[in-house]
Chains A and B, each alone.
Chain A
């Protein structure tokens, strides 16, 4: 009876955070959306997935890996590149997305064209502007290498790599990429203090940004038109390409803001390199159109100082434990064998 009581206490304190304004503010993480029942978590799958994530063998000329465009130290985004790159110097049409907290995602890619994490990797492997490789050839290449035969055997009980097991392994690694230990997280748990600017920034953020960038994941997982003028060189209508519905024109997935200090450039086409430019867009340059998100019906007004405060708050979303976690880095050991 006694131990039961103790457990209850710990649970309840972890669910209710004390806001510094003496207001109780509770933020609970939702349930993961990934269905582990078809692909149960295992360390050997995670390690295999990690090796695959860092191995250029997935690309046609063995030159590009997932990590080429998803670098750990920048929140698994492609720092300084507005559009993602592929083999032969080919350039894609969108900014590579930051990878974190994918276990909670409900769809993948900027347009949500991929409905399940397990099916996502097929897109970059086969896309002409990315790895441009055939899935069967990837499997053939992997099955020739003893280190992969051994790793697939350990992970799935079968030496021979299959499409499904390849994808399941990469998912397992990506599902581990959880960022939940930023200063913001510590502040909510009562383990860190916000200065006045950060606190004000949080308030302004909640008043102006949080309806789409919903805490604690900082995304609603929805598709919105945030008033960006169409880039005539890309003519990218976003979600509409997937649904074929006019009402989805220029809508893109609301991205997470976690680790945003490092995931620049911003927006689906990487058009802004600084957070200040992003905020200036929201206050001054929203393009009105029929599909504009209703959140912008009332203009967002922020002074220059208020923008600085919001940015100070956004910097508290940096999670160094995530960005520098050696478990997510290049698996030197795996590749040094043989």
Chain B
């Protein structure tokens, strides 16, 4: 039960995390996290020259326009829109009695890489000296801010997607070493 009084059941939580590309895209620099697949919850990330951990929640624009479509960037993995080419940065689907939709489903497919409606967010977590750090995705924190009754379906890029992604970023927190 969230603070907005919604009870939620999650079915799909998938999102990209990536290292911002310099000039070229490499498939290794992007990673698709799938809640239902624990093996995707670990990812080795290179630090930048200043030993800083810089991670994008989603994928920066170059990933959407480059020709690299291997590994997690394979468009057949269900995280891709064809009509408006581009990856879905984050997909959350589930059920809630508050969602007045068919089968009480809520679906957030957050995509878009063109300004001003790009939703990727690059975060610099600063210098890191540990070899293992943990990042927490706190959905409790996120859905504190989401009103599932009002907003239960976002499937295209635009203002709504940008606003929702801002809420999602609130739950993306560095916990520190473990």
Q: In angstroms, how far is the closest chain B Cβ from the Cβ of A212?
A: 22
A122 to nearest B CB, angstroms? 4
Report the bound CA distance from A127 to B65 in whole Å: 19
Assembled-state Cα–Cα distance A162/B85 (Å): 19
Quick one: closest B residue to A38, CB to CB?
B67
Does chain B have a CB within 8 A of A228?
Answer: no
Given contacts A39-B67, A162-B70, contact A116 B76 (CB under 8 A): no
* Residue contact B75 to A163, C-beta cutoff 8 Å: yes
Asked if A275 is an interface residue, CB under 8 A from chain B, the answer is no
Q: CB-nearest residue of chain A relative to B156?
A: A244
A167 located at the interface, meaning its Cβ lies under 8 Å from any Cβ of chain B in the complex: yes
Check if B94 is an interface residue, CB within 8 A of chain A: no
Any B CB within 8 A of the CB of A55: no
Q: Give the complex CA separation of A127 and B81 in angstroms.
A: 10
Among B70, B76, B117, chain A packs the most CB atoms within 10 A around the CB of B76
Contact A136 B85 (CB under 8 A): no
CB distance from B109 to the nearest CB of A (A): 15
Q: Is the contact region of chain B dominated by helix, strand, or loop, or is it mixed?
A: loop
Q: Measured between alpha carbons, how far is A77 from B132 in the docked complex, in Å?
A: 55
Q: A23-45: which have CB < 8 Å to B?
A: 35, 38-39
For B85, give its contact among A116, A135, A243, A244 (CB under 8 Å).
A116
Give bound CA distance, A115 to B25, whole Å: 15
Given contacts A127-B82, A139-B76, A244-B157, whether A115 and B67 have CB atoms under 8 Å apart is: no
Taken together as a complex, chains A and B put the C-alpha atoms of A162 and B74 apart, in Å, by 9
CA distance A24 to B7 in the complex (A): 75
Collect the chain B residues with CB atoms within 8 Å of residue A127's CB: 82-83
Does B69 contact A119, Cβ atoms closer than 8 Å?
yes
| Inter-chain contact B76/A242, CB cutoff 8 Å | no
Which of A38, A119, A244 is the one whose CB lies under 8 Å from B158?
A: A244
Interface flags, B154-178, vs A, CB<8A=1, else 0: 0001110000000000000000000
Instruction: Select one of B67, B69, B114 contacting A243, CB under 8 A.
Output: B114
Contact B67 A126 (CB under 8 A): no
A242-B114, A243-B114, A244-B158 are contacts. A163–B76 as well, Cβ < 8 Å? Answer: yes
A-B contact list, 22 entries, CB within 8 Å: A35-B67, A38-B66, A38-B68, A113-B83, A115-B64, A116-B85, A118-B69, A119-B85, A120-B85, A123-B85, A126-B82, A127-B82, A127-B83, A139-B76, A163-B69, A163-B74, A164-B67, A168-B67, A241-B84, A242-B84, A242-B114, A244-B158
Q: B residues bordering A, Cβ < 8 Å? A: 64-70, 74-76, 80, 82-85, 114, 117, 157-159
Q: Which 6 A-B pairs have the closest CB atoms?
A: A135-B76, A115-B65, A164-B69, A118-B67, A123-B82, A113-B84
Q: A38-B66, A123-B83, A164-B68 are in contact. List 20 more A-B contacts (CB 8 A).
A: A113-B85, A115-B64, A115-B65, A115-B85, A118-B67, A119-B85, A120-B85, A122-B75, A122-B80, A123-B82, A135-B75, A136-B76, A139-B76, A162-B74, A164-B67, A164-B74, A241-B84, A243-B117, A244-B157, A244-B159
